[in-house]
Amino acid sequence: MNGQKGVGVVETRTVRLFDAESPLHLVRGGTLSQVDVAYETYGTLSPQGDNAVFICHALTGDAHVAGYHEGARRPGWWDNMIGPGRPLDTDRLYVICANLLGGCQGTTGPSSIDPATGHAYGLDFPLLDMGDFVTVHRALCHHLGVDTLLAAFGGSLGGMQVLEWALTHPEDMRNAVVIAASSRLSAQNIAFNAVAREAITRDPGFRDGQYEAAGTVPDHGLSIARMMAHITYLSEESMADKFGRMPQDAELAPGFGADFAVESYLRHQGETFLERFDALSYLYLTRVMDYYDPFERPGITEAAAAQGVRFLVASFTSDWRFSSTHSRRIVRHLEQARIPVSYRDIETAGGHDSFLLEIEPYHETIRAYIDNALEALR
Amino acid sequence: MNGQKGVGVVETRTVRLFDAESPLHLVRGGTLSQVDVAYETYGTLSPQGDNAVFICHALTGDAHVAGYHEGARRPGWWDNMIGPGRPLDTDRLYVICANLLGGCQGTTGPSSIDPATGHAYGLDFPLLDMGDFVTVHRALCHHLGVDTLLAAFGGSLGGMQVLEWALTHPEDMRNAVVIAASSRLSAQNIAFNAVAREAITRDPGFRDGQYEAAGTVPDHGLSIARMMAHITYLSEESMADKFGRMPQDAELAPGFGADFAVESYLRHQGETFLERFDALSYLYLTRVMDYYDPFERPGITEAAAAQGVRFLVASFTSDWRFSSTHSRRIVRHLEQARIPVSYRDIETAGGHDSFLLEIEPYHETIRAYIDNALEALR
């Protein structure tokens, strides 16, 4: 992996950023009187405080973006991108990643305990907006002593958050890198999210979101949601290359089990997802994506244009979850507002999940972009 | 609709084609000692018996392809194609359509009563093969006094059945029309089928397929399966045109209901499907599709080449369930075997379900093809 060692052993920390005296006011109304945020950092903040990079994670990501947790066999989800000598070089950059508000990996979300009741929020958790994600992560930056980010990076939902952050608080960053993202979900995108939510909420174990109290789990629904979503993260070509029509076990009598390798793979994806993700978080976070549409807001690009924040937008030719059309729409809006933007449509068969893969022209694009950004500081 | 009246009021008839004395022997082994078949016919068989057309239906279709059942508000599923003056002109043709073996609309399937036990078969129903569909529909033709079809038509799974029928019994037909079909599901195709089956079998109401006896129904699972599949039947473009990001009810507070019109539509699709389809049939019929791969069988094209059966293969440019690539593969195999084949890739935004729509160049292609076929009889 880039022929370099990674960031080594790391751990996730948690900090309370909002409390009863200083509650979080949400975009759609309502407040949260207790918000904890899980985060990791790698590298060192420069004395000038100008080398910080914030990573915004995707729907089911978390704060553990690089390195290894003590005793773990697998590194963080974007370890190929972050570390000494890697495109986001931790010898030169201070990298921050935090779990999203509404998530389930350390940051307050709908399955957290509501301090007012002593029980999990469930569906009493307030509806969230992309702007709430930004508010919470801005607060983390201030807590860490970071006033201005060299760049914010994000893929998929993470890219959507970067877009929101750069448009509404362009003074927070010099560069915004938006990868495999969308400014506006299509009807088909919403449809896939909707079916995933139906699978979860119709699971008898869901109990109107009070499953923690009921001692049940909507595992079947959450697995189905994940399996279906996973199909949309891969391209038809990459699935064909990886699995084709290969039987899972030639000895197996045909039936309704995992007869084909692709079925076995999907089942495994569905199962392992249960260990790390929460059904309510899936509902809340997908709904934020559905409603997001920043360019509908009049004047939304004015602040970023005035501030001069620079954008890199990247898409992947085989991504059909958020096809290049989505990225081109973002580029068009930015260009119309005279915001400086570079666009790369990267040729690859990997589908939507390409943003996680070590694809040379992609990594070289990121490397060159951040090198230039560092250069521009001098 | 083509400015013509349709076939009028029709009814579905049922006939027992296999029984204990003459059981149905299945391709994968096993027998069924009682097979009833539901079918409809329109028009009149010519004295020469040479004007019969067989319609093979898709996964969730049925025998009711044209006209109106007594008191019904909606016609059969391909009414725009079949009737006096329509492309399949019932003033000149004798049109037959029958429900598939393994189905749930009158033909024997896994939720039928097993005469040996007096209970529904459930998962004791034997696994089926595309060849079994053909065997049963051939028997129906013989029952109706039809020796040679002028043509067999089918879209999607129906097209796959036509392909199997024409390759294994080319003496049965002069023409084979294979629309929006595949000779071999891709890993992605199988994956979508697999997730649908998981949704059904993990529904607590499924009870290992004994839901009839248990008095339960796997309705949630079957709805989820249908909603997901329905997304794959439409193109991203047609969903955008039809629904975009339109809210279902502007008064509605955002939440986890059917906030967007596309969500409401999908829920409706999922609900109405329950009235007409059976979960076990969904398992059995999708599995037949998964395993189908006729061109893997050595010499499979020889009989059709010797017989001179002619093929029309048609695909739709926006179909991503069975893209044009699938149809081109069929054409390539037929051409390599020197079987006469015409191919049309029809430009339309309607996605996979285009085969059901009244699209002018598509209907004109069918009309011209069948006119030529009739002409060739003279």
Residues above pLDDT 70, as percent of chain A: 99
Specify the pLDDT at position A249: 87
Specify the pLDDT at position B1: 46
Q: Quick one: closest CA in B to A235, which residue?
A: B188
Instruction: Check pLDDT > 50 for residue B35.
Output: yes
pLDDT digits (tens, 9 = 90+) for B160-204: 999 999 999 999 999 999 999 999 999 999 999 999 999 999 999
CB proximity B197 to A under 8 Å: yes
Residues above pLDDT 70, as percent of chain B: 99
CA distance A89 to chain B (A): 37
Active site members of B:
156, 319, 352
Which chain A residues are within 8 Å of B29, Cβ to Cβ?
none
In what side-by-side order are the strands of the sheet with A13-18?
A: A13-18, A35-42, A94-98, A52-56, A149-155, A173-179, A310-316, A341-346
Could you identify the residue written with the tokens 């080594």? A8
Decide: helix, strand or coil at residue B290.
helix
Cβ separation A263–B224 shorter than 8 A: no
Q: Quick one: closest CA in B to A129, which residue?
A: B254
From chain B residues 116-145, the ones with a CB under 8 A of any chain A CB are: 123, 127
Specify the pLDDT at position A3: 47
The domain segmentation of chain B, as residue ranges, is 9-184+294-377, 189-287
From chain A residues 205-244, the ones with a CB under 8 A of any chain B CB are: 220, 223-224, 227-228, 231, 234, 236, 239-240, 242-244
CB contact at 8 A, A356 and A230: no
Task: Confirm whether B9-184+294-377 and B189-287 share one CATH topology.
Answer: no
CB proximity B201 to A under 8 Å: yes
Cβ separation B231–A188 shorter than 8 A: yes
CB proximity A264 to B under 8 Å: no
Partner residue opposite A224 with nearest CB, options B224, B234, B287 = B224
Superfamily name with CATH number, domain A9-185+293-375: Alpha/Beta hydrolase fold, catalytic domain (3.40.50.1820)
pLDDT digits (tens, 9 = 90+) for A151-164: 999 999 999 999 99
Partner residue opposite A266 with nearest CB, options B194, B239, B320 = B194
CB proximity A196 to B under 8 Å: no
With cut-offs at 50, 70 and 90, classify the pLDDT of residue B315. Answer: very high
ipTM score for this prediction = 0.96
Which chain B residues are within 8 Å of A184, Cβ to Cβ?
245
CB proximity B194 to A under 8 Å: yes
Compute and round to an integer the Cα radius of gyration of chain B: 20
Instruction: Check pLDDT > 60 for residue B324.
Output: yes
Which chain B residues are within 8 Å of A202, Cβ to Cβ?
220, 223-224
Backbone phi, psi, residue A120, to 5°: -60, 145
Q: What's the rounded mean pLDDT across residues B233-238?
A: 97
> A254-261: long-range contacts at Cβ-Cβ below 8 A with a sequence spacing of 24 or more?
A254/B28, A254/B127, A254/B287, A254/B291, A255/B127, A256/B123, A256/B197, A256/B201, A256/B283, A256/B287, A258/B194, A259/B290, A260/B187, A260/B190, A260/B194, A260/B290
CATH class of A189-287: mainly alpha
Cβ separation B188–A239 shorter than 8 A: yes
Which chain B residues are within 8 Å of A190, Cβ to Cβ?
245, 260, 262-263
CB contact at 8 A, A32 and A24: yes
Cβ separation A127–B254 shorter than 8 A: yes
From chain A residues 277-316, the ones with a CB under 8 A of any chain B CB are: 283, 287, 290-291, 293
Q: What's the rounded mean pLDDT across residues A21-47?
A: 97
Alpha-carbon gap, residue A214 to A210, rounded angstroms = 6
Which chain A residues are within 8 Å of B28, Cβ to Cβ?
254
Q: What's the rounded mean pLDDT across residues B329-342?
A: 98
Q: Which residues of A97-122 are buried (b: 16+ CB within 10 A; e: fewer)?
A: bbbbbbbbbbbbbbbbebeeeeebbb
CATH class of B9-184+294-377: alpha beta
SS (H, E, C) A66-90: CCEECCCCCCCCCCCCECCCCCECC
With cut-offs at 50, 70 and 90, classify the pLDDT of residue B319. Answer: very high
Cβ separation B255–A127 shorter than 8 A: yes
Which chain B residues are within 8 Å of A191, Cβ to Cβ?
227, 231, 239, 262-263, 266
Active site members of A:
156, 319, 352
Instruction: Check pLDDT > 90 for residue B252.
Output: no
Specify the pLDDT at position B2: 46
Cβ-Cβ contacts under 8 Å between A and B: the total is: 141
Q: What's the rounded mean pLDDT across residues A229-252?
A: 93
CB proximity B190 to A under 8 Å: yes
Specify the pLDDT at position B4: 54
Partner residue opposite B266 with nearest CB, options A195, A231, A245 = A195
Q: Quick one: closest CA in A to B198, which residue?
A: A224
Partner residue opposite A204 with nearest CB, options B191, B194, B204 = B204
